[in-house]
């Protein structure tokens, strides 16, 4: 092929290959810790972007730009939500102890979608279990995915 018909950088990468990160349609509720995580992520991405520009790494620039757009949008519509001390029904930000139908206890904190990490006991407020538990009191049960869960303890975390 004649060099007149080749791109200047004829590699396999095209910025058109990078799709946008999907943004949830749910309210962007976050804990204070979640807001800090967003701010930290943005700061890291800004540093990564500057490095990628300095190295003229087009692929890295495109990837970091996409993530910057995502996290900037998440920061702009983030709503810090904290339960009040003394709350007696499940809501965002609370720590729940649930017992499953096999008698096993599970502790979960309801957090924002970007904070969710089941390996650390954090579930999204948009998760089916969280949605089923909203407004429930200790002793109430819900069935999610054909499994029964009973709320045995409800805790409001310390602010800060």
Same domain, 74 and 100: no
Give the pLDDT confidence score for residue 11 in this predicted structure: 53
Task: Give the chain's domain count.
Answer: 2
Domain that holds residue 26: 12-80
Give every CB contact of residue 19 below 8 A, 6+ residues apart in sequence.
66
DSSP state of 26: S
Asked, for residue 88, whether it belongs to a domain, the answer is no
Residue with tokens 């920061």: 75
- Indicate the pairing of strand 95-100 with strand 105-111: antiparallel
Residues facing 29 on adjacent strands: 79
For the chain, percent helix, then strand, then coil, each to nearest 5?
A: 35, 20, 45
> Do 76 and 127 share a domain, yes or no?
no
> 139 and 102, same structural domain?
yes
pLDDT tens for residues 83-122?
999 899 999 999 999 999 999 999 999 999 999 999 999 9
Is there a single domain that holds both residue 22 and residue 72? Answer: yes
Q: What confidence score (pLDDT) does residue 16 get?
A: 59
Would residue 118 count as lying in a domain? yes
CATH number of domain containing 135: 3.10.50.30
Tell me: the pLDDT tens digits for 54-64?
Answer: 999 999 999 99
Predicted local confidence at residue 15, as pLDDT: 56
Say if pTM beats, i.e. exceeds, 0.85. no
Whether residue 99 sits in one domain with residue 53: no
Q: What digits encode the pLDDT tens for the residues 10-49? A: 455 555 567 898 888 999 999 999 999 999 999 999 999 9
Calpha distance 33→39 (Å, rounded): 10
């Amino acid at each position: 092929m004649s060099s007149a018909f080749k791109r200047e950088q004829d590699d396999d990468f095209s910025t058109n290959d990078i799709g946008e990160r999907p943004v949830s349609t749910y309210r962007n509720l976050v804990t204070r810790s979640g807001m800090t995580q967003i701010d930290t992520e943005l700061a890291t991405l800004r540093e990564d972007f500057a490095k990628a520009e300095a190295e003229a790494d087009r692929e890295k620039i495109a990837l970091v730009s996409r993530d910057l757009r995502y996290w900037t949008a998440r920061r702009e519509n983030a709503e810090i939500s904290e339960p009040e001390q003394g709350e007696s029904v499940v809501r965002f930000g609370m720590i729940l102890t649930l017992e499953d139908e096999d008698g096993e206890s599970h502790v979960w904190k309801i957090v924002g979608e970007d904070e969710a990490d089941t390996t650390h006991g954090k579930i999204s407020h948009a998760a089916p279990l969280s949605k089923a538990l909203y407004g429930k009191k200790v002793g109430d049960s819900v069935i999610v995915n054909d499994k029964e869960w009973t709320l045995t303890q409800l805790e409001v975390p310390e602010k800060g």
